[in-house]
Structures are given as structure tokens and as C-alpha cells.
Amino acid sequence: MADQKWRRLVYTAMFTALTCIATIVIQIPSPMNGYLNLGDAVVLLSAWFLGPVYGAFAGGVGSMLADVLTGYAYYAPGTLVIKGLVALTAALVFRTLKNKTSGKFLAEIISGVLGECIMVTGYFGYACLLLGKGVAAATSIPGNLVQGGVGIAAATAAYLALRQAIHIPKLLKGD
């Protein structure tokens, strides 16, 4: 049992760091004071491999750290909540659908789309209401949609490749 707790801690730390790194390493500036990145792919992978609780932690904290480290600290509180909710939603939907659909692929796509919808609406709401951009925040929606789509595609491809090699769900039962 203690071994499983350590594994859970190590995998959560690993996915937190990977989320931060994937967000920082490839950044394509967006015209609306943000950037496109591959962090969403790792947020979804965290959800699918770690489950709702630990996946939400890894996705939220890893993304928030990237904002703080890259000069977007004013987005950090929103990012923590938004990316945590993305991972939480994706994990819960994936867990529900993975055995009920014709395979894990459809569960990945549906959970990824629902999670990324939270990302798009979450950042719109954060920029509109809390950052004071008003309706002008809507101009960030196309970029966030592209980021979400790329994140879903990259996460799905990576999950298909990794799920045979990494047996995290078997290691982390009980999440």
C-alpha cells in the first residue's frame, strides 16, 4: 500500500512537471496577449492516466507554474482553476465512457472535447470578467479552439502510443 502511495506521488509530480515543460517549451504568441502551446495535451494525458483528482492537480498546477515562469502571472489563478477543471472533466468522462463505448479512442475524443470546451469558455470568462477585457475577450476564442484541437490530437496520439507501455491505471487504482 505504501508503495502505491509513492507511485501515485511520483507520477503526479512527473505529469505536473511535464505539463509545465510542454507549456513552456513550444510557445506560439497569440495576437490577444497569450500564447498557443502543447500543455493541453499533457493536461489531457494527466487526466486519462492519473484520474480526476491527481490529473486535475497535475494539469492545474503544472499549467499555473508555466504561467508564473513565463511572465503571465496574472493568468495563473484562472489557469489553475480552468486547467484543473479541464483535467477533472476529461478524467470523469473518460472513466465513464472507456468501457461503454466501442473503445477507448472515442472516450478520449469525447472527454478531450468536453474538457477543452471548458478551457475555451473558462479563459473567455476569466479575460472578460476578471481581467476586464469585456467582449473583446472573444477574440481569443479562435486561438483557444486551435490550441484545444491540437491538444486533443496530440494527447490522443500519445495516449495510444503510451497506454501499452505505461500501466498507470493499474498502478493507481482507487483514484
Which CATH number characterizes residue 137's domain?
1.10.1760.20
Alpha-carbon span 33 to 47, nearest angstrom: 27
In this structure, the strands spanning 27-30 and 34-37 are: antiparallel
At position 128, the amino acid (one-letter code) is C
Mean pLDDT, 10 residues at a time, over the chain (175 residues)? 84 97 87 78 96 97 96 95 98 90 83 98 93 86 91 94 70 50
**Residue-level pLDDT at 25:** 94
**Residue-level pLDDT at 76:** 97
At 26, is the secondary structure helix, strand, or coil?
coil
* 3-state per-residue secondary structure call for 73-85: HHHHHHHHHHHHH
Give, for 29, the enclosing helix (H) or strand (E): strand 27-30
**Residue-level pLDDT at 160:** 87
> 163 is in which domain, residue-wise?
2-171
DSSP assignment of 113-155: HHHHHHHHHHHHHIIIIIS--GGGGGGGHHHHHHHHHHHHHHH
Phi-psi region of 27 (alpha: psi -120 to 50; beta: other; left: phi over 0): beta
**Residue-level pLDDT at 85:** 98
**Residue-level pLDDT at 9:** 93
Q: Which residues contact 148 (CB under 8 A, 6 or more apart)?
A: 40, 116, 117, 119, 120
pTM of the predicted model as reported, rounded to 2 decimal places: 0.90
**Residue-level pLDDT at 175:** 46
Q: What does the block give as the cell for 35?
A: 500564447
Kindly tell me the burial class for residue 10, based on how many C-beta atoms sit within 10 Å of its own C-beta (0-12, 13-18, 19 or more): exposed
The number of distinct structural domains making up the chain is 1
**Residue-level pLDDT at 26:** 84
Residue 28, strand partner residues: 36
Q: Which residues contact 4 (CB under 8 A, 6 or more apart)?
A: 171, 172, 173, 174
**Residue-level pLDDT at 133:** 86
